[in-house]
């Protein structure tokens, strides 16, 4: 089940993740996004906190990481070389990281192209996605991401992004210096639990709590779907 903007912003508030969100014209590319942020409170972050998001799949001939899915989120000005990144991850040079096909993009991210962001990691459909974050994010005052649709932008600090990912995707996130050539050790995904039948189910007690408010400045709120737990050659989003 896909998560919408309202559900996302409500969850940020529930988790007490400070954020500010504003509306603007549709911004499916980084260039258009920059134009649409001029004259807004986020103008100061143009070129200093805007992100591009690249969704890759390792081909079946890529070696130990074959068929794995990776979302790379980096500052717009950071160079992301898919072949160099593949080599650092131990992916075979003959089958480097490639853009995920449209059907994988739609089935897994469940979001319009031009709206991709690290918040998708909270969706159950993304439980097999591993997130690589630009280490330069940690030096920024604020980071800008679309909250599931490209006519809105959410700003939060690097620390608040970390807090979100700790809740939403534990064990599936790694900061990477994309200017380095050092080896990147990608941990294996945790195996999915297999349901075990233990006899007749007890009657459900029903919902135990409602969404709570957190410190934020947003214009909308809503409900949330809780998951079980979790240019170069790519989309520039």
Instruction: Decide if 76 is inside a domain.
Output: yes
pLDDT at residue 189, rounded to an integer: 86
Cβ neighbours of residue 30 closer than 8 Å, sequence gap 6 or more: 50, 52, 76, 236, 237
**More confident: 219 or 64:** 64
Q: What is the 3-state secondary structure (H, E, C) of 176-197?
A: ECCCCCCCCCCCCCCCCCCCCC
pTM, to two decimals: 0.82
Q: Which of 24-38, 39-53, 142-156, 212-226 has the lowest mean pLDDT?
A: 212-226
Quote the number of domains for the chain: 1
Instruction: Decide if 185 is inside a domain.
Output: no
Q: Can you give the CATH number for the domain in which 159 is found?
A: 3.90.960.10
Residue 160: pLDDT over 70: yes
* Average pLDDT value for residue range 180-186: 96
Residue 203: pLDDT over 60: no
* Average pLDDT value for residue range 122-151: 97
The secondary element (H helix, E strand) that includes residue 53 is strand 51-57
> Which tens digits make up the pLDDT trace of 118-132?
999 999 999 999 999
Instruction: Decide if 222 is inside a domain.
Output: no
Distance (Å, whole) CA 148 – CA 10: 13
Confidence of residue 76 (pLDDT cuts 50, 70, 90): very high
Whole-number average pLDDT of the chain: 85
Q: How far apart are the two ends of the chain, measured CA to CA in Å? A: 22
Structure letter (DSSP) for residue 67: T
Instruction: Decide if 201 is inside a domain.
Output: no
Going by C-alpha positions, the residue among 101, 94, 128 that lies closest to residue 229 is: 128
Instruction: Decide if 216 is inside a domain.
Output: no
Instruction: Decide if 19 is inside a domain.
Output: yes
Torsion sign (Cα): 104, 110, 116, 120: negative
- Residue 80: CB atoms within 10 Å: 23
> Which tens digits make up the pLDDT trace of 80-113?
999 999 999 999 999 999 999 999 999 999 999 9
**More confident: 126 or 216:** 126
Going by C-alpha positions, the residue among 133, 135, 51, 62 that lies closest to residue 98 is: 62
> Which tens digits make up the pLDDT trace of 12-69?
999 999 999 999 999 999 999 999 999 999 999 999 999 999 999 999 999 999 999 9
Residue 236: pLDDT over 80: no
pLDDT at residue 30, rounded to an integer: 94
pLDDT at residue 164, rounded to an integer: 98
Query: Token pair of 233, please?
Result: 């050659």
Instruction: Decide if 200 is inside a domain.
Output: no
- Residue 128: what are its φ and ψ, rounded to 5°? -100, 10
**More confident: 56 or 236:** 56
Distance (Å, whole) CA 190 – CA 230: 9
**190 in Cβ contact with 62 (< 8 Å):** no
Instruction: Decide if 24 is inside a domain.
Output: yes
**Beta sheet of 173-176, edge-to-edge order:** 98-99, 51-57, 69-75, 129-134, 173-176
Distance of alpha carbon 129 from the chain centroid: 9
Distance (Å, whole) CA 20 – CA 159: 14
Domain that holds residue 39: 5-176
Confidence of residue 193 (pLDDT cuts 50, 70, 90): low
Going by C-alpha positions, the residue among 216, 4, 230 that lies closest to residue 117 is: 4
pLDDT at residue 211, rounded to an integer: 26
pLDDT at residue 1, rounded to an integer: 61
């Amino acid at each position: 089940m896909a998560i919408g903007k309202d559900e996302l912003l409500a969850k940020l508030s529930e988790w007490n993740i400070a954020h500010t969100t504003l509306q603007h014209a549709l911004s499916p590319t980084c260039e258009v996004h920059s134009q649409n942020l001029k004259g807004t409170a986020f103008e100061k972050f143009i070129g200093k906190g805007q992100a591009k998001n690249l969704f890759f799949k390792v081909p079946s001939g890529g070696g130990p990481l074959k068929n794995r899915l990776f979302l790379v989120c980096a500052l717009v000005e950071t160079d992301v070389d898919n072949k160099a990144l593949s080599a650092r991850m131990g992916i075979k040079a003959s089958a480097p990281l490639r853009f995920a096909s449209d059907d994988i993009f739609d089935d897994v991210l469940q979001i319009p192209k031009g709206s991709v962001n690290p918040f998708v990691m909270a969706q159950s459909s993304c439980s097999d996605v591993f997130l690589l974050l630009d280490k330069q994010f940690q030096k920024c005052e604020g980071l800008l991401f679309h909250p599931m649709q490209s006519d809105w932008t959410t700003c939060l600090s690097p620390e608040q992004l970390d807090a979100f990912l700790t809740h939403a995707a534990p064990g599936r996130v790694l900061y990477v210096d994309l200017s380095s050539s050092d080896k990147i050790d990608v941990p294996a995904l945790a195996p999915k639990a297999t349901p075990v039948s233990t006899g007749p189910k007890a009657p459900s007690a029903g919902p135990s709590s409602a969404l709570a408010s957190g410190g934020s400045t947003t214009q909308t709120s809503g409900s949330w779907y809780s998951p079980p737990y979790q240019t170069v050659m790519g989309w520039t989003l």
